[in-house]
Structure 1
């Protein structure tokens, strides 16, 4: 299974029956380094088994049986289809895994709930964006994050104008689609493009054919955009871009685009050019949240104190949470007594308190910014703006 939906994340968050094993690892997708994938995987499985035996007192057979669903993945075919990172979740009568565009650190956590903080960048500024590379002869869709990019194979979508025109829509249907696309969203691009000069597609039927192609493409592409909040960036020669903008009904198509022939750029070059366009989209709300934190910290409406933030998250008071990726703080929190215990090393019954704050903020509708440690206010491991 690949990309993680919000509903699937909620399922993982709400699962709290018995022991929960969470495994994260980076995965290589090409070259000799791919041989490291199964080796890393087996080492993590071994760590999980040892932890189940030593800390939770399972005998060896029970520990092996508990993680067996994960071990069953260890086949050559499985390792041939990877992304940047692999996340595996094993519980009592529960098993799920995800190939994700996140370069995880190796991590094994055994607790009474799944450890989900490494997934939080999917909800924040390291989330997903899409690139639609347009030409009349070939269309490609890419999904990227801050650090990764991959092409998405699309089925049942016209990949060129010839394919699109095989399914020519009747005139009335086409006119209705054009009218709908112009007014069907809040997108500022929904207006008719006007073109002048030599080679303008307005001078012949070519523009109408391109528009029909893009109307079909608009419908098909959205089936492959799994995160409906993710920005979409176009790349294509200049006269194609306004035509697609006219056909577009996707709410988060960005105004800025890459002008040029898509065939001249590989995936990595596309990523290099597009990231400066999408980064402000991701960081705008984060910057606003930091400013708000600075305004409210002096009046008790914000804090970077671990106990205050964990408690507030569990009681549904956190509106915005900053949490450091790649760090853990072990301990446990008793919400009834409002008491927090912190341990340098994980003990039985402990969990990562940063994960606890993230999960509770997510469940209570707060916004999470999973960022590099240096981007958390006041140099803390986590910080929050409170609702009240």
Structure 2
């Protein structure tokens, strides 16, 4: 399973050849209701087969096309789920993602993948990470407005999961050994006591910094191309050391104080959300204020016209896009003559033009906000601020 990122988004765009099937479904992680996962999957696969037939394949061709997805349907696959599952299928191509976001059931068959339901995860609107720092355990958690879950660090080979692991190959001649003490710091990251050294020495801090250097470097592969806030959780004296080491540009200044080893995920979620929610609200509020200011003083710089925005997004002119999630605007965009057709309902060969505008805005370095209907006091399902 690939990790969802903007680089992965480019892979999805470049792999969209011929018929493309996008399947979104909510999934259950535990309890008796997990038996609904394969049932829901089978129903959605049936819809996908009908969609392929409606787009020109015969039944045998549709069945062959969907075979790679059917191969996922086994006990081991359903044993490890998140809150949502996304599957993308094209000719000789399949990608699936387990994500911390619950989706409404949706199947789209077209000439490219349908990506708009993923916007909150791709844009950072409501997604965040918590990095728990302690001597014995590094924790990374992925959260949204409603949920949080641990990221399996065993799959990130370059990420040291403790100070001992980070330093075990350093200075082999010294064979540094240590045990822990709270060192008067109270509950939290215990101060390491290195044999032959005192507590709280400059060398102690240097060892912690070396640990954090390796941790930061190891996390870069995972965090690369992501633009979501990262919140630190750890005792107070550790956080400024990591802040100095950090190279991820979206690490927030405010963190969660305390030993994360002793915190359950929900506690970390509640404290982190209190930190990141104002961040999300302010960014969207500032963008909305810019939209209204331009609408009053420079109306040529903004638009809520779907046709105009689709063309502007394709030609890299959209700086900021507000798009309604859960709504589709079916139609066609002819890249050769720049003609846009809007349809009241889906017709053969149609694509969701809101999805198209959001996709090209993201790929061209713009900012996308997934919003509730009429958030900008406009009846249109999307609005944009242009670059020029």
Using the size of structure 2 for normalisation, the TM-score is: 0.84
Post-superposition Cα deviations, 1:226-252, rounded to whole Å, max 9, x if no partner, equal: 544333211122233233334434333
Work out the CA distance in 1 between the residues paired with 2:377 and 2:226: 29
Q: CA deviation at 1:3?
A: 2.2
Instruction: Between 312-321 and 197-206, report the one with greater CA deviation.
Output: 197-206
- With over 3 angstroms needed to count, the CA separation of the structure-2 counterparts of 1:303 and 1:248, relative to structure 1, is closer
Work out the CA distance in 2 between the residues paired with 1:125 and 1:250: 14
Instruction: Between 9-18 and 42-51, report the one with greater CA deviation.
Output: 9-18
- With over 3 angstroms needed to count, the CA separation of the structure-2 counterparts of 1:170 and 1:216, relative to structure 1, is farther
- With over 3 angstroms needed to count, the CA separation of the structure-2 counterparts of 1:198 and 1:382, relative to structure 1, is same
Q: Which residue of 1 aligns with 2:85?
A: 86
Instruction: Between 297-306 and 370-379, report the one with greater CA deviation.
Output: 370-379
What is the 5 A alignment of 1:193-342? 203-204=200-201, 206-298=204-296, 299-342=299-342
- With over 3 angstroms needed to count, the CA separation of the structure-2 counterparts of 1:218 and 1:358, relative to structure 1, is closer
| Unpaired runs of at least 5, structure 1 | 172-196
Q: Which residue of 2 aligns with 1:370?
A: 370
Work out the CA distance in 1 between the residues paired with 2:361 and 2:67: 32
Instruction: Between 64-73 and 208-217, report the one with greater CA deviation.
Output: 208-217
Instruction: Between 237-246 and 18-27, report the one with greater CA deviation.
Output: 237-246
Post-superposition Cα deviations, 1:43-71, rounded to whole Å, max 9, x if no partner, equal: 01000111222x22322111111111111
Work out the CA distance in 1 between the residues paired with 2:57 and 2:212: 58
Q: CA deviation at 1:19?
A: 1.4
Residue 169 (structure 2) aligned to one of 148, 167, 170: 167
Q: Which residue of 1 aligns with 2:55?
A: 56
Contact 2:6 2:226 in 1 (8 A): no
Task: Tell me the secondary structure at the aligned position of residue 292 of structure 1.
Answer: helix
Work out the CA distance in 2 between the residues paired with 1:326 and 1:130: 25
Q: Which residue of 2 aligns with 1:345?
A: 345
Q: CA deviation at 1:368?
A: 1.7
- With over 3 angstroms needed to count, the CA separation of the structure-2 counterparts of 1:226 and 1:267, relative to structure 1, is farther
Post-superposition Cα deviations, 1:8-36, rounded to whole Å, max 9, x if no partner, equal: 21122234422111111111212222111
Q: 1:144 and 2:143 equivalent?
A: yes
Instruction: Between 144-153 and 330-339, report the one with greater CA deviation.
Output: 330-339
Work out the CA distance in 2 between the residues paired with 1:387 and 1:214: 39
Q: Which residue of 2 aligns with 1:192?
A: none
Alignment length (residue pairs):
364
Work out the CA distance in 1 between the residues paired with 2:92 and 2:220: 34
Work out the CA distance in 2 between the residues paired with 1:361 and 1:328: 17
- With over 3 angstroms needed to count, the CA separation of the structure-2 counterparts of 1:243 and 1:56, relative to structure 1, is closer
Task: Tell me the secondary structure at the aligned position of residue 133 of structure 1.
Answer: strand
Task: Tell me the secondary structure at the aligned position of residue 312 of structure 2.
Answer: helix
Work out the CA distance in 1 between the residues paired with 2:345 and 2:20: 18
Q: 1:77 and 2:76 equivalent?
A: yes
Contact 1:2 1:100 in 2 (8 A): no
Post-superposition Cα deviations, 1:78-102, rounded to whole Å, max 9, x if no partner, equal: 1112222111111122222222222
| Unpaired runs of at least 5, structure 2 | 174-182, 192-198
Contact 2:322 2:369 in 1 (8 A): yes
